[in-house]
Structure 1
Amino acid sequence: MYKSFVVLALAAPFAVFAAPINKRQTPSLAATVLKFADVLNQFEAQFYQAAMSKFVDSDYTDAGFVSSRIPLEQFTIIQNDETLHSSFLQSGLAALGESPVTSCKFNLDAATKDVATMTATARVVENLAVSAILGAAPLVGDPVILQAAASILTVEAKHQSMLNVLSSTGSSIPSAFDIPLAPSEVLAIAAPFFDGPCDLGIPAFPTLTITNDGPVTPGTKLTLKSDAINGTICEDELFCQMLLGGFPNSITVPFNNCVVPAGLNGPMAIWVTSDEQPLLFNSVDRQTNNNKLVAGPTMTFVDTQPQTLVQMLRAENAGTVTSKVITGGEASSGSGSGTNSTSSVNNGVTDGGVPVLTTGFSADGKINVLGWNVTDPQGQ
C-alpha cells in the first residue's frame, strides 16, 4: 500500500501536461520555452553530479565546512530535484509532440576545480535558475504550463537560499525580490558552460566577465571584459548598469568608473550599454533597450549582511581561501579571473565530524557562546 502511494505521488506531477495545451499558446513558442528550461536543468543536474563524483570528504573540510555531510546532503537533494525537473519538462515536450534537446554538452572542469569554487559557482547557478524561470514566465500563455513552471520555481528558490547559506558569506534571503532575466540574458551567463554548439532557437547576448580579484563589495571598482568590447567601441562612451532585486531600474555609472555603491546586498546583474538610460527591472520592458546593449549580463554577489546561520556551517578558528565564481569565457578556458568569494578553511576538524549547536556561557562565565561543537560519530 505504501509503495503504491509513493509511485502515485511521484507520477502525479508528470500528469500535469496530460491536459490539452491551451490554444492561445503557440505550440512552437511553448516548445522553445520548455526546451530552454530543460537544457538548463540538464546542466544543473550534470553540474552537481560532476561535483559530487569528484570530491572526497576531506575536500569539504579543507574548504571550511565543519563536516562534508552538510554540503553533500544538500547537493544530493538538489541534484535529484534537477533530474526530476528535466524529466518533467521532457514530458511536457512529449505532450506537444516535440523532442527534447539532449545533444548539449557541458564543460564543468573549471567550475569544479575545487570545493570552494564549485560551491561559489553553484550559488550563481541556482540564482540563475530562479531568474530564468521568472524571465521566461511572460512567454508562457498556457496556464497549465505556467503553473507547472511555478511549481519548479518555488523549489529552485529553496535551492537558491540553501546555496546562499553554503556560500559562507551570503544572506539566506538577501532581498524581497529576485531579478528576472530574459532567455537571451540567461544564455549570456550560461552559454560559456556549453561545450560546443547547443541550438535552443534563442540567441545569447554577448558574455561579460568581471576580472577583479577579491570579493565584490561596496566601493569596489569593477573591471569588465567582453569580446564585444574589442576596441571598435570607445570605452569612454559606454556605461555600466547594475541591477539588484527589487530595484525599479539599474544603477547607471560610466564604464570606466563602475564602482559598486554603498547600501547594496545580494545578487547583482551587470550589463554594459552604449547609453546611460537605466535598464528596467522587469525583463519584458527591459528588452526595449536591447539595441543599446553591448554585453551582459553577468552575475555577482555583494555580501554585506552576513548571518549567523551562514557562519555556523563553517569551522571554528578557520582561516580563509579565495575561490573564484566561474563566469563568461572562463567556463570553457579554465583560465583568467572572475568574481571572487571567500570561504573558511577548517583547522583540524576530524573527517566525519558531527556539528552540534552549542550555546551558553563558558566555564569561566566570561564568554557567551553561540557556535558549533564538533564531535566524531562516537560522540568523543
Structure 2
Amino acid sequence: MRFATSASIVALAASSFVNAAPIRRAAAPQDLLVLTFAHVLEQFETQFYTQALAKFQVSDFTSAGFADANVPIQQFTSIQSDESTHTDILASTITSQGGTPLTNCTFNFDSALVDVPTMAATARIVENLGVSAYLGAASLLSDPVLLTAAASILTVEARHQTVLNILSQGSAIPQAFDIPFTPSQVLAVASSFISGCDLGIPANPTLSITNTGSVGPGTSLTFSSAAINGSTDGLSCQMLVGGAPFAIVLPLDQCVVPNGINGPVAIFVTSDPQPLLNNVRDQATNNLVAGPTIAFIDTSPEDIAELARGASPSGSPTPTTASSTTTETLTPAEASAVLSSAGVPQPSATDASASVAVPPPSATGSSDAGSSDESATPTSGAVVVDGFTSVPASA
C-alpha cells in the first residue's frame, strides 16, 4: 500500500511537471542539453544512495559513531526517494520537449563506499555538487518555465545539503550564499564516478588535495592533477567561497587557507593570477588549469550536529583515532605573513566568523608545489574523497 501511494504521488508530480512545460514546441537545443545533464546528475545521485543503502547495515552506522543508526538511514532513504523522483520527472520532461533521455551511463561508487564515514562525506559532496550544478545552470536556460521547474528541484537539493552538513558534523547552513559551478566544473568532480556515456560536455581536469592531515585556517595545501605537469611557474591557487565577489588568489606553492572561512571552499588552479569571478557567466574559464575541488572547512561547531551524532551539545565531539600527520599548519602569524606577501588583506578578527578577505588581482607566484602521499589515511577525523576534504569542527 505504501509503495502504491508513493508511486501515485510520483506519477502526479511528473504529470504536473510535464504539463507545465511548453509542449507547444520543442525546447531550444541548449535547454535540452541542460535538462539532459541534470537528468544524468540525478541518476548519479539516485544510484549513489541506492548503492549505499544496499551495502551498509545498522551496525555499520553505529560503528561509525551514530548513537541511533535510524537517524542517518532515515535521511538517506528520504533523499534517495527525492533523487529518484527527480530522475523520473526529468526523463518525462526531456521526452515531452522532443529529446531523448540519456540512460546508458554507468555509475561506480566503490571508492566512496568503503565505510560509512567515507560514504557520509561523499554524500555531502554529492548534495553540495547538486546545488552548485543547478545554481550554475540557471543562466543557461532560456525557457522561464523550465527555469522555474529546475529551481524547484534546486530548493530541495539545498535541503538535502543542510541535512548532510549536519550528519557530517558541519554547520547546518555554513554560508549565506552557495557557489555556482558550470557543467564542466561539475564534471571535474563527478566524472570519476561516471562512464559509458557522452554528455556532450567536456570535463575540467580533476584536482585533488593531497594533504594527509586535517585542513583548516593556516593549513598550507598541496595538490595533485594530471594537468599540472612539472613546473608550477605562473600557476595560481584560487579559493572561492559563497558570497565573495571573486576568488582569493595565492601562488600555488603558498596556498594557505585563510581565517574567516566556515563551510565549503571551491579551489581551482589557474594559469594566471586574475581572480575568478563568483559568476559563471563572466568567469575567465579559459585560464582554468584544473578543478574545482572542494575543502569543507568546518570551524564553527553547532549543537544540532552533535545531537545528530548522539553526543551531548556541551560534551566532546565523537572521538577519532589520532595518528601522525604530514599536513603543514602554519601559526596565525606565519599564515598572515604568507597571505600578506601575496597581497591578500587580512580580516581584523581571527575567529571563524570573520569576513573572508578578497585579494587584489596582482597576486603572482612561482616554484614547485609540494606534495604529500595521496593514499595516506587522513587523521583527526578528516575524510578525503576524490580531492574533497571534510574536516570535523574543533571542540
Query: Which TM class, normalised by the smaller chain length?
Result: 0.7 to 0.9
Q: In structure 1, which of residues 312, 331, 339 is the aligned counterpart of residue 389 of structure 2?
A: 339
Query: 1:281 is matched by which residue type in structure 2?
Result: N
Report if aligned partners of 1:182, 1:283 keep a CA contact under 8 Å in 2.
yes
Report if aligned partners of 2:17, 2:89 keep a CA contact under 8 Å in 1.
no
Aligned twin of 1:362: none
In the TM superposition, what are the counterparts of 1:240-255 in structure 2 within 5 Å? 240-255=237-252
Aligned twin of 2:292: 297
Aligned twin of 1:365: none
Cα separation, 2, equivalents of 1:182 and 1:104:
20
Distance 1:323 1:253, change over 3 A: closer
**C-alpha deviation, 1:339, in angstroms:** 2.2
The percentage of counterpart residues that share the same residue type is 53
Cα separation, 2, equivalents of 1:5 and 1:324:
35
**C-alpha deviation, 1:278, in angstroms:** 0.5
**C-alpha deviation, 1:71, in angstroms:** 0.1
Query: 1:32 is matched by which residue type in structure 2?
Result: L
Hey, which of these two has a bigger chunk of strand by percent? 1
Query: 1:327 is matched by which residue type in structure 2?
Result: D
- Partner of 2:221: helix, strand, or coil? coil
Cα separation, 2, equivalents of 1:176 and 1:121:
22
Aligned twin of 1:355: none
Aligned twin of 2:386: 327
Query: 1:58 is matched by which residue type in structure 2?
Result: S
Report if aligned partners of 1:242, 1:251 keep a CA contact under 8 Å in 2.
yes
**C-alpha deviation, 1:55, in angstroms:** 1.0
**C-alpha deviation, 1:8, in angstroms:** 6.3
Q: Using the TM superposition, name which of 106-115 and 158-167 deviates more.
A: 106-115
Aligned twin of 2:342: none
Report if aligned partners of 1:116, 1:343 keep a CA contact under 8 Å in 2.
no
Q: Deviations over 1:173-198 (max 9, x none)?
A: 0111000101111111111111x343
Aligned twin of 2:359: none
Cα separation, 2, equivalents of 1:24 and 1:303:
47
Query: 1:324 is matched by which residue type in structure 2?
Result: V
Report if aligned partners of 2:32, 2:97 keep a CA contact under 8 Å in 1.
yes
Q: Deviations over 1:323-347 (max 9, x none)?
A: 533115xxxxxxxxx6253499xxx
Query: 1:150 is matched by which residue type in structure 2?
Result: A
In the TM superposition, what are the counterparts of 1:187-336 in structure 2 within 5 Å? 187-194=187-194, 196-231=195-230, 234-286=231-283, 289-316=284-311, 318-321=318-321, 322=381, 324-327=383-386
- Partner of 2:282: helix, strand, or coil? helix
Aligned twin of 2:51: 50
Aligned twin of 1:373: none
Report if aligned partners of 1:214, 1:339 keep a CA contact under 8 Å in 2.
no
**C-alpha deviation, 1:15, in angstroms:** 2.6
Query: 1:269 is matched by which residue type in structure 2?
Result: A
**C-alpha deviation, 1:314, in angstroms:** 2.1
Aligned twin of 1:177: 177
Cα separation, 1, equivalents of 2:48 and 2:10:
27
Distance 1:107 1:6, change over 3 A: closer
Q: Deviations over 1:273-331 (max 9, x none)?
A: 01111100111111xx1221110111121111110100112244742153533115xxx
Stretches of structure 1 that go unaligned for 5 or more consecutive residues are 329-337, 345-380
Distance 1:114 1:6, change over 3 A: closer
Aligned twin of 1:149: 150
Aligned twin of 1:38: 39
**C-alpha deviation, 1:65, in angstroms:** 0.7
- Partner of 2:187: helix, strand, or coil? helix
Report if aligned partners of 1:111, 1:325 keep a CA contact under 8 Å in 2.
no
Distance 1:275 1:24, change over 3 A: farther
Is 1:117 the counterpart of 2:104? The answer is no
Cα separation, 2, equivalents of 1:292 and 1:5:
47
**Paired positions, count:** 328
Cα separation, 2, equivalents of 1:174 and 1:90:
33
Report if aligned partners of 2:299, 2:393 keep a CA contact under 8 Å in 1.
no
**C-alpha deviation, 1:21, in angstroms:** 2.9
Report if aligned partners of 1:218, 1:261 keep a CA contact under 8 Å in 2.
yes
In the TM superposition, what are the counterparts of 1:100-111 in structure 2 within 5 Å? 100-111=101-112
- Partner of 1:283: helix, strand, or coil? coil
Query: 1:237 is matched by which residue type in structure 2?
Result: G
Query: 1:187 is matched by which residue type in structure 2?
Result: L
Cα separation, 2, equivalents of 1:6 and 1:106:
24
Cα separation, 1, equivalents of 2:9 and 2:53:
30
Q: Deviations over 1:5-53 (max 9, x none)?
A: 9936851443333346389995221111111001111111111111111
- Partner of 2:166: helix, strand, or coil? helix
Query: 1:243 is matched by which residue type in structure 2?
Result: L
Distance 1:92 1:305, change over 3 A: same
